[in-house]
Amino acid sequence: MELIVVTGLSGAGRHSVLGALEDTGCTALDNVPPRLLEPLIELEAKLQPNRERLVVGMDSRQADFAEEFGPLLERLHLGDVPVQVVFCEASEEVLLRRFSETRRPHHLALLGTAGEGIQRERELLAPIRALATTILDTSQLTLSELRLRIAALVPQVPTRSTAVRLLSFGFKRGVPPDADVILDARFLPNPFYVEALKPLTGRDWPVQQYLLESHEFREFLERAESWLRWSLPLVQQEGRAYHTLAIGCTGGQHRSVALVEMLAHRLRADVAALTVRHRELEG
């Protein structure tokens, strides 16, 4: 079982790195004391013998962390445990700003300033930084860039697909608050005004057949599909877990439902995590 230890300066993004690794499918545990790491590895090996990777977060808040980590790492190497050490850091300016934004004191500042605490921690963790296999400077990294850097640490782990949700709704009940993209289909021909189609919904073939006779409907469908196929790889690259495309018409019974149904039919073979919901039909 491979071990990834995530450590570094307070405020440098250790929690974000742990979260990004967890999103790749790794098991991540935070605030593990050095003296408990070896028993933890033994226990995990017994309980989860097929687990390929364990991620642990460790930092200077643990007593004697700086003194114990070097000998601990040496023992792990002697025991043939493959270990990666990811050390997170950032510029003093960025760290000061982050502490100012969160209004949390630095645990090594004592009665001094956050700057004093940052300097003390840099000096304390310098030997651990020298042992790191990866030094991750998060000063200028966006969350999506951080996820790409993390993915490079574990390239054999497939990137989790963004879950795509196609949602139909009626504008008369308001816009869905969790939608990422909203398309308005109210300008399309409305089956509500066709007596035979009024009691049906966009799931029914007569309604879909009626709508497909409209050039504007067909073009709407083509453009929506093209947009999703173009944007989805970029959305996934950004590291989003979910992406909702909502299509609305007046009542959410005919046009938007038909568009979502047909769009799902076209995309389902290529989008692994695809779900469909019709808000006004399902309540």
| Strand, helix or coil for residue 170 | strand
CA-based radius of gyration for the chain: 26
pLDDT tens readout for residues 62-121: 878 889 999 999 999 888 889 999 999 999 999 999 888 877 788 888 777 888 899 999
Note whether 168 and 252 are same-domain residues: yes
pLDDT score of 24 more than 90: no
Note whether 212 and 148 are same-domain residues: no
- pLDDT of the residue at 192: 96
Note whether 7 and 130 are same-domain residues: yes
Tokens of 85: 């050490």
Neighbours of 173 (CB within 10 A): 12
Domain membership of residue 158 (yes or no) is no
CA–centroid distance for 259 within its chain: 28
Domain that residue 123 falls in: 2-153
Note whether 110 and 176 are same-domain residues: no
Note whether 8 and 143 are same-domain residues: yes
| Strand, helix or coil for residue 54 | strand
CATH number, domain with residue 73: 3.40.50.300
Average pLDDT over the chain, rounded to an integer: 89
128 vs 130: CA distance, rounded Å: 5
Is residue 144 within 8 Å of 238, Cβ to Cβ? yes
- pLDDT of the residue at 99: 86
32 vs 58: CA distance, rounded Å: 6
Note whether 22 and 114 are same-domain residues: yes
68 vs 79: CA distance, rounded Å: 17
Point out the domain boundary residue: 153, 179, 212.
153
For the chain, the domain total comes to: 2
Residue 66 phi, psi dihedral angles, 5° rounding: -60, -35
Domain membership of residue 224 (yes or no) is yes
Domain membership of residue 59 (yes or no) is yes
Note whether 54 and 171 are same-domain residues: no
Residue 170 phi, psi dihedral angles, 5° rounding: -110, 130
- What confidence category does residue 21 fall into, taking pLDDT thresholds of 50, 70 and 90? confident
Domain membership of residue 203 (yes or no) is yes
What order of strands is seen across the sheet that includes strand 83-89? 27-29, 53-57, 2-8, 83-89, 134-137
Domain membership of residue 174 (yes or no) is yes
pLDDT tens readout for residues 25-44: 788 899 899 999 999 999 98
pLDDT tens readout for residues 105-131: 888 887 778 888 999 999 999 999 999
Buried (b) or exposed (e) across 196-210, using 16+ Cβ within 10 A?
Answer: ebeebbbbbeebbeb
- What confidence category does residue 211 fall into, taking pLDDT thresholds of 50, 70 and 90? very high
pLDDT tens readout for residues 154-194: 765 555 678 899 999 999 999 999 899 999 999 999 999 99
Note whether 168 and 123 are same-domain residues: no
Note whether 145 and 177 are same-domain residues: no
Domain membership of residue 196 (yes or no) is yes
Domain membership of residue 233 (yes or no) is yes
